[in-house]
């Protein structure tokens, strides 16, 4: 009987193996970015707000770190706790690398979100997370600079997450987190210089 098909099958297997490992090698050398890249990066709007401890915080304080900015409010029941939960998972998965990142929640409801409220809210997630608030007059330019629409009751319909690089440039956005794999891999790759 003809042995040719057997040889062809084995050759195909070799092709599949070479392609699989070639692809894997290529992927690890050129990791895909799961967020939406902003190209070229733009200077992130510099804000100066009050943290949950009452101190004044500037975006420039975080030069040298990757900063993740999220807009939400403590009375929010859907998107905000979900996103903060994902960010907590991301923070844990980053391990030691997490020191080079900073998660910031900027309130969209300054009327209710006092520093104390924000501190109590964020303590459910991670002690390193920062909650920022201020007066409406100070917050409004920040919201509009990041394209956040805030309704009268402080509700926001934006669930974008903004990634600011160590130079203070806005480099990417995440429209809506549905898992932590992508954002964790992105930060790992960025921090490891890939």
Q: Which residues bind other proteins (CB under 8 A)?
A: 1, 3, 5-6, 9-10, 12-13, 16-17, 19-21, 23-24
Q: How far is the CB of 144 from other proteins (least distance, A)?
A: 37
Contact 66, 9 (CB under 8 A): no
| Cα distance between residue 6 and residue 185, in whole Å | 41
Q: How far is the CB of 80 from other proteins (least distance, A)?
A: 21
| Cα distance between residue 81 and residue 72, in whole Å | 9
Contact 62, 149 (CB under 8 A): no
Nearer to other proteins, 10 or 151 (CB): 10
Contact 52, 146 (CB under 8 A): no
Nearer to other proteins, 1 or 29 (CB): 1
Nearer to other proteins, 16 or 43 (CB): 16
Q: How far is the CB of 191 from other proteins (least distance, A)?
A: 23
Nearer to other proteins, 8 or 151 (CB): 8
Contact 171, 161 (CB under 8 A): no
């Amino acid at each position: 009987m003809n042995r040719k098909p057997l040889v062809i099958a084995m050759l195909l297997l070799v092709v599949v193996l070479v392609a699989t490992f070639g692809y894997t090698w290529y992927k690890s050398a050129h990791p895909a970015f799961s967020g939406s890249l902003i190209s070229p990066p733009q200077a992130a709007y510099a804000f100066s707000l009050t943290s949950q401890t009452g101190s004044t915080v500037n975006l420039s304080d975080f030069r040298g770190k990757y900063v993740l900015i999220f807009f939400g409010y403590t009375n929010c029941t859907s998107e905000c706790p979900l996103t903060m939960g994902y960010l907590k998972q991301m923070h844990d998965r980053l391990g030691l690398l997490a020191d080079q990142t900073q998660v910031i929640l900027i309130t969209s409801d300054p009327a209710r979100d006092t520093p104390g409220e924000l501190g109590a809210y964020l303590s459910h997630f991670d002690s390193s997370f920062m909650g920022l608030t201020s007066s409406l007059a100070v917050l409004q330019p920040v919201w509009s600079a990041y394209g956040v629409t805030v309704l009268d009751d402080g509700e926001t319909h934006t669930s974008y997450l903004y990634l600011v690089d160590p130079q203070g440039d806005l480099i990417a956005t995440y429209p809506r987190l549905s898992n932590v794999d992508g954002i964790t891999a992105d930060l790992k790759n960025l921090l490891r210089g890939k």
